[in-house]
Amino acid sequence: MEIIFYVLAALMILSACGVVFLKKPVHSALSLLFNMVLTAILYLAYLKAPFVAVVQVIVYMGAVVVFVLFVIMLVDLANGGFVEVIRVPRFFAAFVVAFVLLIQFLFLAGFIRGDIPIVSDYIHGDKLAELIFTKYALPFEVVSILIFSAVVGAVAMAKKKL
């Protein structure tokens, strides 16, 4: 099982790199889609969180990535005369910064302890629902308002004239 996990993790990192390093936005988006699938598998198989996995699939893959693909389709980059060139100094600077951050995070990892049991109960939606509608009722409602206003804002911005 652990071998499979490491393969999974390697694929996730690889697809993440794909998001960043692939030249065409469409490829980046598809790479992200692949990363999301792997994440959902991780949730389901190793973290025993089927509800989160399902939401991950529906929201991220079904909505967000598809949405981005639509926008990529609408935004015709080839005709915009936009050829993305990554400048080498910036690349290295970013690499250095990201590396420093990674090292720091790895050091901070020393603070994190704990094991995740491979064999454990699945956490289904009902238990989460209990928590969401009791302890997190207010944030839940606030998030609903936030999304609603985001939708209104998106419509307002996307329309040429209101």
Sole binder of another protein in the list 3, 84, 138, 162 (CB under 8 A): 84
122 binds another protein (CB under 8 A): no
78 binds another protein (CB under 8 A): no
Round to whole Å and give the CA distance between 143 and 137. Answer: 10
Sole binder of another protein in the list 80, 138, 161, 162 (CB under 8 A): 80
Please answer whether residues 97 and 28 qualify as being in contact, where contact means their C-beta atoms are separated by less than 8 angstroms: no
Sole binder of another protein in the list 114, 138, 161, 162 (CB under 8 A): 114
Tell me how far, at minimum, the Cβ of 4 lies from another protein, in Å. 11
Give the count of alpha carbons within 13 A of 7, CB side only.
Answer: 5
Please answer whether residues 15 and 42 qualify as being in contact, where contact means their C-beta atoms are separated by less than 8 angstroms: no
32 binds another protein (CB under 8 A): yes
Size of the site for another protein (CB under 8 A): 89
DSSP state of 110: G
Q: How many residues does the chain have?
A: 162
Round to whole Å and give the CA distance between 61 and 44. Answer: 16
Tell me how far, at minimum, the Cβ of 14 lies from another protein, in Å. 10
Sole binder of another protein in the list 4, 7, 77, 137 (CB under 8 A): 77
